Amino acid sequence: MSRVTRVLPHLSEEEVSQRLRLTAGTPEHFRWLVIWNALIDPRTAQEIARHTNCATNTVHDLVSKYNRFGPAALESPKDRKRRRCYLGKEEEIIFLSPFLERAQKGQIATAAEIREALEELLNHPVHQSTIYRLLARNGWRKIMPRPFHMQAKKQAQEDFKKWIVAFPPQLYYKRPPSWWGGGRIMQQEPLNLIELQRRFATEEACVEHLFKLRWPGGYHCPRCGHDSYCFHSTRRLYQCSKCKYQVSVTAGTIFHKTRTPLVNWFWMIFMMARQRSGLSMLSCQRMLGIKTYKTVWMMGHKIRKAMADRDSRYQLAGLVEMDDAFIGPKKPGPPGRGAKGKAKVVIAVENRDNRAGFAVMRHVPSVDSDQILSVAQDKIQPASGIRTDGWRAYQTLGANGFDHESVVVSKDKEALKQLKWVHILTANIKGNIRGVYHGVSEKHLGRYLAEFSYRFNRRKWDSQLFNRTVTACLSTSTVTFAELRA
């Protein structure tokens, strides 16, 4: 025999009937209709579902919520993004403030403690996902994801205690605005090769796409900020209706005064951004049918400049592995730091335990304490932990506000264990330069390093890389052939 569905008498029949009249024409009306049927004529959930034209599970869910939390469980939230919120926005800030104060004092707060405090405040249990949504709404995120329990490995436990000082010391923290990307990562529309070919087959389609990316909220005059304009179709210029200032969609970008079709530019950006091993300019010239190597070579360096400028604003944080590398052809003489005729590069990458984080590579004139400190102060957050080998030039890091750990490495296998990610990254960039470009000049090495770092740092958003790179190209100035050859 089926079980009869009943509701608790939180409200009388007259009050429920009044709620039905007040909520007519809204999603809330349907919920009260289910409660009304269960209140005036208790019967099975299947019969109520047939009568109200809904699923049986919906009836069970609504009745259960109403019995547990009362009429408030059926009310629609004013903010549609705040699902299953037991507190208002200001109440959530007040609730989380003690945990933020604890973090500032160097203490640790876990999701379990926050859940226990919320249940004590509400006087009823809440699901674990409610805590995750609460923290996400207020800009908190987890900083130490681990695939194993900390007590399972004593060494990992000690490392955690040592390096946690590099962060606001809590398992959940508010991301500082100076972190990579300044908070939330800007999302772009994903695009594959087939869609690229279909959408950007003409010059007009490319210009329209650049317009949308450059002025996503509509046209605004670069001089006076006015939003009304007229378009000169013969010269492809946008003229402000107020100050009469004329501007093209490519002005002040790497596409400025280009005579190469934008269709070719879009294809080249797509291939450079999505090809993880890099793209040979000679191969690109043949595939795109560009007449001279000089043109495609200059286009490649302009795109690399946009990538470098985009990454120049970001910094690493947490536990950072740092090492130096020497890039160039094999020459007689001692290997390693004693090698002559090779370019010096300082490489830093975030160590996130079982994976690598963001990375930075910089071409330097020499591997001395001044250059290493300059790279660290420019590209790594203050008070972050930096792990290096025993080279004496790295000792300056500990004396300048960084938590420096020196690892003495005697064998290559030990180096791969102690400084795993930075050595993997070094091997990848060397193989990339040797296999794809067959060597690059020291003069332009910095841009090739920036290109590799740009793709590596955005490997999780591979399908969005085309639009991300086009946006970067629109937000940086161009570089001329004379500047590249100077």
| pLDDT over 70, % of the chain | 84
Whether pLDDT at 125 is above 50: yes
Q: In this predicted structure, which of 47-61, 264-278, 284-298, 465-479 has the lowest mean pLDDT?
A: 47-61
SS3 422: helix
26-32 long-range Cβ contacts below 8 angstroms, 24+ apart: 26/76, 27/76, 28/74, 28/75, 28/76, 30/54, 31/62, 31/74, 32/74
One-letter amino acid identity for 268?
A: M
- Mean pLDDT along residues 158-177: 41
Task: List the domain boundaries for the chain.
Answer: 4-74, 89-150, 311-467
Cβ–Cβ under 8 Å, residues 66 and 47: no
pLDDT value for 2: 61
Q: Report which of residues 243 and 103 the model is more confident about.
A: 243
In tens, the pLDDT along 343-399 reads 999 999 999 888 899 999 999 999 999 999 999 999 998 888 999 988 889 999 998
Whether pLDDT at 188 is above 80: no
Sheet holding 403-406, edge to edge: 356-364, 343-351, 319-327, 385-388, 403-406
| pLDDT over 90, % of the chain | 34
Q: Scanning the structure block, which residue is given the tokens 């592995």? A: 321
- Mean pLDDT along residues 262-267: 95
Cβ–Cβ under 8 Å, residues 1 and 12: no
| Mean pLDDT, all residues of the chain | 82
Q: In whole angstroms, give the CA distance from residue 415 to residue 417.
A: 5
Residue 282's pLDDT band (cuts 50, 70, 90): very high
pLDDT value for 177: 36
The CA distances from residue 200 to 206, 283, 299, 464, in Å, are 6, 21, 18, 16
- Mean pLDDT along residues 175-202: 66
Which of 118-122, 202-206, 214-218 has the highest average model confidence (pLDDT)?
Answer: 202-206
Which of 92-101, 172-181, 299-308, 413-422 has the highest average model confidence (pLDDT)?
Answer: 299-308
Residue 100's pLDDT band (cuts 50, 70, 90): confident
pLDDT value for 179: 34
Q: In this predicted structure, which of 139-153, 226-240, 325-339 has the lowest mean pLDDT?
A: 139-153
pLDDT value for 411: 62
pLDDT value for 70: 85
pLDDT value for 11: 87
SS3 386: strand
386: left (phi over 0), alpha (psi -120 to 50) or beta: beta
Residue 105's pLDDT band (cuts 50, 70, 90): low
Whether pLDDT at 56 is above 60: yes
> What CATH number does domain 311-467 carry, 3.30.420.10, 3.40.1160.10, 2.40.30.10, 3.30.565.10?
3.30.420.10
Whether pLDDT at 14 is above 70: yes
Q: What is the helix (H) or strand (E) element at residue 208, kind and residue range?
A: helix 203-214
- Mean pLDDT along residues 446-475: 92
Q: In whole angstroms, give the CA distance from residue 373 to residue 369.
A: 6
Is the pTM higher than 0.75? The answer reads no
Whether pLDDT at 182 is above 70: no
In tens, the pLDDT along 405-444 reads 988 776 666 666 778 899 999 999 999 898 888 888 889 9
Residue 40's pLDDT band (cuts 50, 70, 90): confident
Residue 166's pLDDT band (cuts 50, 70, 90): very low
